[in-house]
Amino acid sequence: MRTLLSLLLLTVLCTCAPPPEKTADGKTEIADAPRYVWPLEAPMKLILDSDTANEIDDLFAIAYLLKDSYPGVEVLGLSSAQWFHVWSGDSTVYQSQQLNEELLSIMGRTELPHPLGADLMMGKPWGDYDPRDSPAAQFIIEEAMALNDGEKLAVLSIGAATNLASAIALEPKIKDRVVAYVLGFRYDFDGHFWNKDEFNIRRDLNAANYLLNAEGLELHVMPISVAIKYTWGRESTFGHLAKAGKLGAYLRARWENHAGPDAEKWTMWDVALLQAFLKPEQASEVSVLTPPENTQRSVWMYEGIDVKGMEADFWERVR
């Protein structure tokens, strides 16, 4: 009887919001995600946040973006991201920072701001969203707050989203001034299922959840289940790099030293997100509902990419 009374009391006291309305086929009905229309009369302002020392493709993404000034884009900075795990060694953000500085030097772009990111994930090991302050987070805040009314700043996180999520947690006002792009997750388009068991998300699950929960934040996701289609062969890649001078030699050395000279192919995960953002005609997106454990809202999910078009476009620029 005591248990029954307790359950009845809990029912009376419950202030949970009613579940979202459902359509005739039983699916949750949520409005499409918001989408900022970048004005044609002004360049898109962009910050690239990269865990550069983690793999190979980060460097290729940076090379593509910074080879020359990109039409219609103002690159404000390149920040370093952590990628700590059991095999990574200590201070992974410093490893990324070192490669960022090496690449900027080779490309003659050392004048570009390249702030250091956080060396640890945000929050606590069991969750929470305590921001991890860093020069990179402060740089995102400063650039977002410097925008004119109605302007937006694109922040592309091609590693763990620690710096971006921390920046928003430190200064919530920028949530309405930022358009967030992240590489991570897996997504089942048939079943509409999210899978957070993925490398970038594992590096900072708290940051990923923070972005998903951030109502009003325009969020675009490149899932690895789509990006995996963008895989290059070694022979073809090395042939192109041979024509790219000192930059090409540096990128080839990174491939050989990190993956090994016998690695026959490599997936350009990070390049896929960057090119999809810069040339939206080479990719397609759909509005999807966030996972059930997160705030229920709509975000953008890349569902397809033009692999051949992207690769041809990359080597047209990096040569």
d(CA 41, CA 72): 9
- Name residue 311's amino acid: E
Task: Indicate which CATH number applies to the domain containing 151.
Answer: 3.90.245.10
Q: Do residues 55 and 258 touch, judged by C-beta distance below 8 A?
A: yes
Residue 257 lies in a domain: yes
Out of 1-15, 109-123, 249-263, the most confident range is 109-123
- 48 lies in a domain? yes
200 Cα distance to chain centroid: 9
4 against 223, higher pLDDT: 223
Is residue 105 in a domain?
yes
Domain count within the chain: 1
Got the DSSP string for 149-185? TT--EEEEESS--HHHHHHHHH-GGGGGTEEEEEE--
288 belongs to a structural domain: yes
Give a yes or no: residue 297 inside a domain: yes
Q: Has residue 178 been placed in a domain? A: yes
Instruction: Report CA-CA distances (Å) from 318 to 119, 141, 169.
Output: 31, 31, 36
Let me know if residue 6 belongs to a domain: no
Q: What is the pLDDT of residues 68-109, one digit of tens each?
A: 999 999 999 999 999 999 898 889 999 999 999 999 999 999
pLDDT in tens, 31-71: 899 999 999 999 999 999 999 999 999 999 999 999 999 99
Q: Stretch 195-215: mean pLDDT, rounded?
A: 98
Of the pLDDT bands very low, low, confident and very high (cuts 50, 70, 90), residue 259 is confident
Residue 22 domain flag: no
The tokens describing 107, both together, are 């490309």
Looking at the chain, list the stretches that DSSP marks H as alpha helix, in order from N- to C-terminal side.
Answer: 2-13, 57-66, 92-106, 135-145, 162-170, 199-203, 205-213, 224-227, 234-241, 245-258, 269-278, 307-317
- Nearest CA-CA partner of 141 in 109, 186, 177, 111: 177
pTM metric for this prediction: 0.90
Residue 224 to residue 217: CA distance in whole angstroms: 22
Domain that holds residue 290: 44-317
